[in-house]
Amino acid sequence: MGTIRLHNHQDFLIAALRQQLHQASDLGALLQTARSAGASLIRVVADNASITLCDDGKSIEDMQALLDLPDPIGEHEVRERSNAPLTGVLSALYFATHLSVHCGQQGFSTPTDAIIRGEPIAVHAAAPRIGNEFRLDGVESPRPDMDLPQWVRVHLRHLCQAFPVRVIFNGVELPRPLAHPSLAWRETPIGRVLLDLDAPPHEWQCFRNGLPIGPAPSTPRYQAVLLHDGSTTRPPDPWHPCGEGNDHGCIQATIDPAYRAALIEAKERLSDSEFVVLYWEACLASSHADLLNDVPFAPRAWFRDWDAHPPGYQRFGQSEHLSGLAHLDSLDTEGVWRIHPEGDEEHAAEVYVCARGGLLLEERRLDAGHWLFQRIRSISSEQVRVYQDAVLHEDIQATLYEDDIELVLVRALNVRLNGEPDPYAVNAVRKDGKLVLTEQAGPVTRLVSDYVFDGRHDEAAEATDAQTILAFIASGSTQGPARIVNAVLPPSLRYQPNPGLAGATVHLRFGPDGRLQAIDA
């Protein structure tokens, strides 16, 4: 029945294909070949050394076309023709050792090296069959942690997400979740977009001819873009994957207005409270925060959770948030505050807002026109006045993580804002280089430092400071010497078992200056 051969120069083939194609691209190219042949069903079988693909489409009559590659007359022409339906076979040349093809009543079987060398390949008569069959032998899994059938299964599941033709692999039909006819795709100038408002708008996967192209999204949920089959947008072919040049901007510019339109539709469909609960994060994360401007509810997650995050330094990774919604009328009662960042390292303003039960706005992504900004009071620590009762104890040279802090123990402590009549009782506040405490303060290390050094939380330093603060409070306490001793006991004596002390009673005797004089058992 004659012979066929690769007419193009070997060097051009290597330059054009070798760096572009691999096992993954071969599977996609063969699927596309079957789809172009009008197949309604594709069967793929893989064992540890071979992959066979059969389809029920129109049998390929021109076997030479399977080995044709465009002459290097121009990069644009190569790219335009690289999507031709019969180039799938060529993608197998560098990772399969043997190729067998059976189309209708003809076929060929040859080592792939012979094709690359440009040798004539004999086409022989074959038993009639419907459709086309391609068998690749000598294929290895590209992943050492998977055998070939496992890898083929995983990759086909990825390839078939939006593929319009049914695919059966080793007897099991593969899911095609993005090919379901009930999905609400939106038409755009470059193709159809399937939006997920629970996914970031900048995370998307492109598909052309039903196959994914370009980089995979970094999140499990994403926007899907199904490009028109005839699109000239540059992600259309494996020679220029999505994400290079202006492709990313073109696709993102298509997704953004569609995403906004979907948010507006949801806003019209839902009540104000439902819309805020479901989509406030989507609005803020997608630069569509203005859609929240006229909704009279604010998620309490926008405000500081004083129980989980008391005033003071907040360590990276602490993510507890308040739950529920606040209506704008209730916010007028509670008061909404924002702290001016300059000079607030002492957190006195946080202590004041917390003491009066105010809501501290921490969400920074709101649109400038949001109604909250009409209700916010901005303050700084300089506006907070500290009022203390009698001083019980003082240490102007406290040994803490930050050495320039003076410890002061007082009987009672209040804070007040300039211009406000009411003071509020607190147990600890840091201002003007002093950490002022009451006996109920506890180890308020959060007002000393975040204890992060070289990107690591120094737990030992924080524990040492906590012990120092507790000992200081105990030393000036009015509740007797037992509390002082209890505070200064080292953790090793308190928590580590010591058989020599089992059941023992020990008496400590102190001199007039408070120094330990004797220990009696």
pLDDT at 245: 46
**What share of the chain in percent tops pLDDT 70?**
86
Q: Please give the Cα distance from 234 to 32 (Å, whole number).
A: 18
What is the pairing mode between strands 376-379 and 41-46? Answer: unpaired
Q: How far is CA 2 from the centre of its chain?
A: 57
Strands 516-520 and 507-510: antiparallel
Helix (H) or strand (E) holding 272: helix 272-285
pLDDT average, residue stretch 337-351? 80
Residues 6+ apart with CB under 8 A from 294: 371
Tokens of 254: 């298509």
pLDDT (0 to 100) of residue 236: 39
pTM, to two decimals: 0.75
pLDDT at 502 over 90: no
In three-state secondary structure terms, 299 is strand
Work out the widest C-alpha separation in the chain, in whole angstroms. 116
Instruction: Report pLDDT for 12.
Output: 58
Q: What is the band of 343 on the pLDDT scale with cuts at 50, 70, 90? A: low
Alpha-carbon Rg for the chain in angstroms: 36
pLDDT of residue 396: 85
What's the pLDDT at 482? 74
pLDDT in tens, 53-69: 999 999 999 999 888 76
Average pLDDT, the chain: 86
CA dist 289 and 370 (Å) reads 9
CA distance 121 to 268: 65
Give the C-alpha separation, 293 to 6, whole Å. Answer: 65
Residue 320 has pLDDT above 80, yes or no: no
Name which of 376, 362, 381 is nearest 318 in CA terms.
362
State pLDDT tens for residues 185-194: 999 988 999 9
Going by C-beta distance under 8 Å and a sequence separation of 6 or more, which residues neighbour residue 22? 95, 142
92 pLDDT above the threshold of 70: yes
pLDDT for 85 beyond 50: no
- Between CA 445 and CA 426 the distance in angstroms is 16
* Under 8 Å between Cβ of 101 and 66: yes
Please indicate whether residue 70 or residue 209 has the higher confidence score (pLDDT): 209
Sign (positive or negative) of CA dihedral 204, 210, 214, 216: positive
pLDDT of 235? 35
Q: Is the pLDDT of residue 381 over 50?
A: yes
Residues 6+ apart with CB under 8 A from 90: 13, 17, 21, 29, 66, 67, 69
pLDDT at 342: 63
Q: Encode pLDDT of 402-430 as tens digits.
A: 777 899 999 999 999 998 989 999 999 99
